[in-house]
Amino acid sequence: MLARHLSRRWYSTAIEQKRIQALSGGGKARLDMQHRKCKFSARERLSILLDDGSFREYDTFVEHNCHDFDMETKRYPGDGVVTGHGKIHGRPVFVYSQDFTVLGGSLSKTNAAKIVKIMQKAMAVKAPVIGLNDSGGARIQEGVDSLAGYADIFQHNVMASGVIPQLSMIMGPCAGGAVYSPALTDFTLMVRDTSYMFVTGPDVVKQVTNEDVTQEDLGGAHTHTTMSGVAHRAYDNDMEALAGLRELLSYLPLHNQDPVPVLPCDDPIDREDIVLDTMVPKDPSVAYDMKEVIDRIVDRHSFYELAPTYAPNILIGFGRLGGRSVGIVGNQPLVSSGALDIQASVKAARFIRFCDAFGIPLVSLVDVPGFMPGTTQEHGGIIRHGAKLLYAYAEATVPKLTVITRKAYGGAYIVMSSKHLRGDFNVAWPSAEIAVMGSAGAAEIIFRNHPDKNKMEEEYRTKFATPLVAASRGYLDEIVEPRMTRRLLIEQLDLLKTKSLTNPWKKHGSIPL
């Protein structure tokens, strides 16, 4: 009996020692270095992200199986990634948090297996996956085994796409193969000054192209949220980033068959905002802020904008109407008059397809003079990229509600969720102008030889550029007073919550990628 008791005690002590080692990551010195960089540890991040006391860890004691290059002496319980499940706002999520203090957070075969395990569990129970990325990339000592690990993760990213939400937070370096899993997920967030994403780092760039570039300029948060569009938002520090991630998740269903979240709403459904009646300037050449229009229509303080500094001529993000989550797309007259260009088209198309995959209704606010002209756009493939936006709206089967606030010209009128693309509720404000092109351009073509072009331009505007023509043909369901917009949208969302529309069976479509 005594021997058995001592044996149990020895095992218990050994387990506890391993657990303590796992909790310490790469050791106190490396943790202190992480803190000096104003970064939290992998476990601290999870404690901030998840509801208090909800985290349950998997594979705490897993170690790598590499026996080469002195790796026998570099064994750490957990092998550089903390995985498990927890809750956010009381709802289940699966998480992994890479630990940069352990071998630079590099990916090994066992490390990848831990991530794949929680992805498989997430798919089995239909819950979101969140990755907190802080990794130098593949573990070079493991060679092809590390690459195989990445491939396994990528395959599961693709299988989970459109089934469960996948969110990525970049919280440190993310290099090489490490960048492709975030690229395959639905939304990618970054931390300013401490997070980076690049396929090859500055040293390799210098060797290959002879360019001198810093990590920040090559792949920092500013680069990816303003120039590449790889990331959807950036935050000033780890704490703000994790709070932002919690907020984003609150708009999303748990999976593609889960109803969209409906939160308690203290903003009156029938609230009328008279400021909207004068929001659109009488002069069609004067800009106004579509973001303010959105803020005045949705539930107060509920608009969560995505990619605010990338392709700012179009706005995308989530909001709530009567407490119900909706996806919002709006042209921004303050930037390029709200015209659609390559970047704006791709930005909106991807967002629309996400909303459609997860049953989130779409609200489109339209003030678009057309597609951006010029050789840069044509040579860059505006036809193909613009077709992505057209495809996304036409393919979507979720409730689609569209409000034309002012201009809706040419092909851009069609593309921006028009009635012709199976729109469910299409209305216009009295200030709307719906036509093939602006009155000035039309008059220049039609009345080229007329002695009084100004008079004919006004006549064209009166006859063709008002919403009455479209309404008389049934292309608009109503012409509404702007102040009534919120109430009408909420009414329609309530009516359309039982909408049932399916596309013809197909393996998949051929979107013009």
Catalytically annotated residues: 176-177, 411-412
Q: What is the dihedral of CA 167, 240, 49, 250, to 10 degrees?
A: -60
CB neighbour list of residue 45: distance below 8 Å, 6 or more residues apart: 97, 132, 171, 238, 242
Q: What is the dihedral of CA 203, 207, 210, 215, to 10 degrees?
A: -10
CA distances from 124 to 15, 266, 454 (A): 30, 36, 66
Which letter does DSSP use for residue 38 in this model? T
Contact status, residue 169 vs residue 242, Cβ threshold 8 Å: yes
Instruction: State the alpha helices, DSSP H only, in 92-165.
Output: 109-125, 144-160
CA 427-429-431 angle, to 5 degrees, is 140
- Which secondary structure element, helix H or strand E, spans residue 240, and what is its range? helix 238-249
Contact status, residue 438 vs residue 407, Cβ threshold 8 Å: yes
CA 250-255-260 angle, to 5 degrees, is 50
From the DSSP assignment, how many helices (H) and strands (E) are in the chain?
A: 19, 16
Q: CA–CA separation, 138 vs 109, rounded Å?
A: 10
For helices 485-496 and 290-297, angle between their N-to-C axes, nearest 10 degrees: 60
CB neighbour list of residue 162: distance below 8 Å, 6 or more residues apart: 256, 357, 358
Q: CA–CA separation, 250 vs 254, rounded Å?
A: 10
Length of the chain counted residue by residue: 513
Q: Please report the DSSP string for 41-61 in residue order.
A: -HHHHHHHHSPTT--EEE-TT
Q: Please report the DSSP string for 276-300 in residue order.
A: GGGTS-SSTTS---HHHHHHHHSST
- Other CB atoms within a 10 A radius of the CB of residue 91 amount to 17
> What's the chain's Rg over C-alpha atoms?
26
- Other CB atoms within a 10 A radius of the CB of residue 259 amount to 11
Which letter does DSSP use for residue 177 in this model? G
Residue of 197, 135, 171 whose CA lies nearest to 46: 171
